[in-house]
Amino acid sequence: MKGLALFILLSRLLGADTIVYLRPGKTGSSSVVDYMKILGKYGRCANLRYQFHDTVFLPVNNSSYVQGWHWKGGRARPIDGLENWTTFTILRDPCERIVSIFRHLRHWNNALGYKVGGEIVMDMSNTSEWIERLNTNNTALNLMRWPWPRNINFRNYVVGFPQSYYVGPNTRVFCLNDKQLSAKLGSYFAEYSCEYAKKRPFTLHANVNTNVSTDETIDSKHCDIVHRIYRRDYELWQEHCAATASPRADEAATDIQELPRWPAASAGRVASGGLPAGSRR
């Protein structure tokens, strides 16, 4: 954490802000991280940094003020100043993302032999069944809400955290479905001295392309449930991404109700102005 904070200070003194990627799960984030690693090999692009899924923004006491949080050492720890950093994130259509989340949990719970937590998804035959489970089972739904479960058998559920957790007051938002995403990311990085990004286009991994609901779709009824479960995600998607998305029959969800926001957990503070130890580059 101290090393990264010092790096950011030096970057600013040299006139180049550090860009921090906050990464919701199942939004092509592995592709973005690999892209940033490639760019990071070039000196003028060394100011690109990324975090894991466990670094998030949350409202404080249900107010409009947000606080950065990180999960470290089995505890939720606030990050002072994260809301003032230069951050970006990429959003995905919630009704496409839920399919990818379901597949991820089934695959890894099976591969790792999880006996606890795995049954929440392993006995579901398809995404629609799982959505109905989430709609009626708070235990299952709460696994995909902050704070991160302490039981390691549930840790994979971090990929289902709401995308809204990764959008702060100064976060630049991009859209996974945007055909101009590669060009927009390149231009964005170039704004912060990484000119090489304009020459090296961003591409999604092949597995992301095959996971965008091409062989499994959910109907409008289940998509409406997803919009209720991830209400703020749906609002952000409509605000930033709907214009670049293909028309959906289920865009106008009805009877959307706000879910209770998670209160900030009490925990020790991370040093002001810095990300926690173990932050990723």
Span 84-139, pLDDT tens digits? 888 999 999 999 999 999 988 887 766 555 554 556 677 788 999 999 989 998 88
Residue 277: is its pLDDT beyond 50? no
In a domain, 28, yes or no: yes
DSSP 221: H
Residue from 278, 280, 274, 279 nearest 8 by CA:
274
Query: Do residues 38 and 56 make contact, with C-beta atoms less than 8 angstroms apart?
Result: no
In a domain, 249, yes or no: no
Which pLDDT band, with edges at 50, 70 and 90, does 245 fall under?
low
In a domain, 56, yes or no: yes
In a domain, 175, yes or no: yes
Residue 265: is its pLDDT beyond 70? no
In a domain, 174, yes or no: yes
Percent of the chain predicted with pLDDT > 70 = 71
- Dmax (CA) for the chain in angstroms is 55
Output the six-digit token pair for 179.
């055909």
Domain region containing 37: 2-92+164-207
Residues 6 or more apart whose Cβ sits within 8 Å of residue 221: none
Predicted confidence at residue 112, as pLDDT, reads 59
Mean pLDDT of all residues in the chain? 77
In a domain, 224, yes or no: no
In a domain, 256, yes or no: no
173 has which bridge partners?
89
Predicted confidence at residue 279, as pLDDT, reads 44
Predicted confidence at residue 261, as pLDDT, reads 35
In a domain, 152, yes or no: no
* Pairing between β-strand 66-72 and β-strand 48-50 as defined by DSSP bridges: unpaired
Q: What is the pTM of this model?
A: 0.80
Domain count, the chain: 1
Residue 27: is its pLDDT beyond 70? yes
Percent of the chain predicted with pLDDT > 90 = 36
Output the six-digit token pair for 275.
């990300």
Predicted confidence at residue 23, as pLDDT, reads 95
Choose the weakest-confidence range: 45-59, 146-160, 187-201, 228-242: 146-160
Cα–Cα distances in angstroms (integers) from residue 117 to residues 49, 144, 155, 269, in the given order: 32, 12, 9, 30
Structure-model confidence comparison of residues 24 and 139, the more confident one: 24
Which pLDDT band, with edges at 50, 70 and 90, does 228 fall under?
very high
Residue from 163, 1, 165 nearest 79 by CA:
1
